[in-house]
Amino acid sequence: MNALAGGGTMVTFPVLLWVGLGAMDANMTSTVALFPGLTLSSWNFRNHLGKLTPWLKVLAPIALLGGLTGGALLLWLGAQLFNWIVPWLLLLATVLLLANDLIARWLRGKVRAQAESHELKPWAVVLLGAVAVYGGYFGAGIGIMMLATLGLLGLRDMNQMNALKAILAVLMNLAAVVWFIVKGQVEWHWGAWMMGGSIAGYLAGSHLAMRIPGAWVRGIAALIGLAICLQLFIRQFRGG
């Protein structure tokens, strides 16, 4: 799903909840399990950065620091706050997933209407840093957030935008993954199986991309996301 259209966390996170993990453990285990596949996916974009290489030199440490900050905040703020906020975060990710096509059309419209800019504005560093913190804390919908942000910054080449998005996503997840592993917060009994599946899925995704419409995949992920949101909201409002 991540290789085809994004939204893989919308499946892995609920599955880990359904097998009995707490929300925070499910989030951290899902992040670690999907990381190898995410890295494989980013490798496919390595030759598309073009003029954005100077951007990467500035944003790479921001992504690492933001991801580490988000992971540290997750553990520091604790399970009680995360359990309260996670239905809202999942709902946000679901809305972003459903809005993917609208955002893509908006980006294509900007491509036709405006000239491309390669100037990295100071406010962009702050904004992408905030996105990186979110990525380390939860991360679902992070790819769509970054694409929209890069579009606001004046980028127009979708290959370059996807390349920068993929590399930054790996860096922010790398920091969080290392932190979660060092802190012993990964449920490896489930994470190891999911990690193997994610690697196989990313490799298969490149072959399925031309056969399965991305909108179908996003629709399935959104339905799963809405279902688990409803379950979490009901549990939250019942106080259980």
* pLDDT of 110 over the 60 cut: no
Integer-rounded Cα radius of gyration of the chain = 17
Higher pLDDT, 3 or 17: 17
pLDDT given for residue 109 in this prediction: 63
Higher pLDDT, 34 or 124: 34
How large is the average pLDDT for residues 234-239? 71
* pLDDT of 45 over the 60 cut: yes
Higher pLDDT, 46 or 89: 89
* pLDDT of 112 over the 70 cut: no
pLDDT given for residue 156 in this prediction: 63
* pLDDT of 20 over the 90 cut: no
* pLDDT of 113 over the 70 cut: no
* pLDDT of 240 over the 90 cut: no
pLDDT given for residue 6 in this prediction: 60
How large is the average pLDDT for residues 100-111? 62
How large is the average pLDDT for residues 205-214? 59
Compute the mean pLDDT over every residue in the chain, rounded to the nearest whole number: 77
- Tell me the two tokens of residue 119: 């100037």
* pLDDT of 161 over the 90 cut: no
pLDDT given for residue 69 in this prediction: 94
* pLDDT of 72 over the 90 cut: yes
Closest CA to 18 of 170, 227, 240: 227
pLDDT band at 166 (very low <50, low <70, confident <90, very high): confident
Tell me the longest C-alpha to C-alpha distance in the chain: 53
77-92 burial: b if 16+ Cβ within 10 Å, else e: eeeeebeeebbebbbb
Q: Concatenated DSSP letters for 54-78?
A: HHHHHHHHHHHHHHHHHHHHHHHHH
pLDDT given for residue 204 in this prediction: 73
pLDDT band at 141 (very low <50, low <70, confident <90, very high): confident
pTM of the predicted model as reported, rounded to 2 decimal places: 0.77
* pLDDT of 206 over the 60 cut: no
